[in-house]
Amino acid sequence: MKKGLAAVILAAGKGTRMKSALPKVLHPICGQPMLSYPLEVARAAGFAQLKVVVGHGAEQVMGAFDDNSLTWIKQTDQLGTGHALMCAADSLRGYSGPLLLHCGDVPLLKVETLQRLQDYHSQQQAAVTVLTAQMPNPQGYGRIIRDGEQILQIIEEKDATEEQRQVTEINAGTYLFDAAFVLAALKGLNKNNSQGEYYLTDIVAAAVAAGKKTRALCVEDPTEVMGINDRCQLAEAEVLMRWHINAELMFGGVSMIDPTTVYIDNGVEIGVDTMLHPNVHLRGKTRIGKNCTLETGVVVVDSHVADGTHLKAGSVIEESQVGPQCIIGPMAHLRPGNVLTGHNKIGNFVEMKKALFGEKSQASHLTYIGDSEVGRNVNFGCGTITCNYDGVNKHKTTVEDDVFVGSDCQFVAPVTIGRNSLIAAGTTVTKNVPPDSLALARTEQKIIPGWRLRKQKKS
């Protein structure tokens, strides 16, 4: 048995109302699978032994988490929450501490709430402590039946009387158990109910019958315990989580003109005094430095943007590193693999892929640079492209320091341009250019006087 507190996370449901081939707990919220949030909050609250009960799409769910600290438990038959905990019983043999049971489709629960639940459970020395919420419209939820502090019963709505259905305190589906008690009490569960399932809620009545303390902790904000059963609730959860992410960043010194239209994945880092305009999307493992400006429509994915950089409207940056004091866009596209070392200008309708740019090098507009290594102080003229693909293989273009490239040039890779060279406008470079040289490759201009008048006369 591993050391540390134990938790069982229920993630076996099919999620029929999602109407999706993807298991419900893998649907993303702010860039991460739904299931990652219950796991994250349990860990943060001190639960080191994480047992995840999976059923529908089990292989897919397990494959989405490359985490050796998780214990996966398969629930082949979906016979209720009590049965799910029964499936985990063998993995808990010998464990005697508090046991958390939490649902994989409840992503908004806060660490502070889970810690309060632990403290209350310990102070009360309860056998069962359930997390509850007051719901003005409790339809669909199990009701909490109390006698003062003692919880007498949790009754599922389908089994409740009309009087019991008027109760507005509902079961949030998160519990702390005395492990020894609950593992013994599981043996007494039966399926004598309207759904023919083993109800975990029957453990409360079993504790009362055994003379044990049963308690409930009511959350202050009921949205913390909302479950996700359909795509409307998924969208609602994303809005709530996005506001939480954005609020934390703003309290930490990040400015947003309209935070309701800024979309930031969980885990993205942003430095102080950075300004985000509307419709900015920051995804994956992205880090934005201090004093940056991100204009409308900027999308940054799995990239690092250093201090003082200005990303202009409509620019897209993927899996790239952007150094300090760069100006990108508008409408620039950095595909994966780029490294800009700093003070670079990448202008409108410039596309880059797997390119290294030395300090102060720039491509101001309408340029493609792929599979290239570019030195310092290089200028690319409008309409320049690196011809890096021959139909079979990709080839590299090397441009050394202080090169000036005129407009409408092509570099047919592999090719090297020596330092301090000038490439004349309209040149197609197929051979290496030595340092300090002028490269000029275009046909001689011819002028035929009077040609236009003669053409018009014939017409």
The residues annotated as belonging to the active site are 365
Residue 420 is assigned to a ligand binding site: no
Residues in CB range of 169: below 8 A, 6 or more apart: 132, 133, 134, 135, 138, 143, 144, 146, 216, 218
Residue 388 is assigned to a ligand binding site: yes
Q: Is 458 helix (H, G, I), strand (E, B) or coil?
A: helix
Residue 156 is assigned to a ligand binding site: yes
Alpha carbon distance 216, 201 (integer Å): 13
Peptide bond into 414 cis (omega under 30): yes
Residue 283 is assigned to a ligand binding site: no
Residue 379 is assigned to a ligand binding site: yes
Chain Cα centroid distance, residue 144: 35
Q: Is 114 helix (H, G, I), strand (E, B) or coil?
A: helix
Q: Quick one: tokens of 168?
A: 């507005």
Alpha carbon distance 424, 427 (integer Å): 6
Phi then psi for residue 310, to 5 deg, are -115, 115
- Return the C-alpha torsion angle 269, 272, 273, 279, nearest 10: 20
Residue 271 is assigned to a ligand binding site: no
Residue 355 is assigned to a ligand binding site: no
Helix residue ranges per DSSP H, 70-146: 81-88, 111-124
Alpha carbon distance 158, 332 (integer Å): 57
Residue 11 is assigned to a ligand binding site: yes
Alpha carbon distance 130, 204 (integer Å): 9
Helix (H) or strand (E) holding 99: strand 98-103
Residue 442 is assigned to a ligand binding site: yes
Radius of gyration of the chain (CA): 31
Residue 59 is assigned to a ligand binding site: no
Peptide bond into 278 cis (omega under 30): no
Residue 291 is assigned to a ligand binding site: no
Angle between helices 36-44 and 111-124 (to 10 degrees): 50
Residue 42 is assigned to a ligand binding site: no
Residues in the annotated binding site for Mg(2+)? 105, 229
Query: Which residues carry a binding-site annotation for UDP-N-acetyl-alpha-D-glucosamine?
Result: 10-13, 24, 75, 80-81, 142, 156, 171, 229, 335, 353, 368, 379
Residue numbers in the known binding site are 10-13, 24, 75, 80-81, 105, 142, 156, 171, 229, 335, 353, 368, 379, 388-389, 407, 425, 442
Q: Binding-site residues for acetyl-CoA, please?
A: 388-389, 407, 425, 442
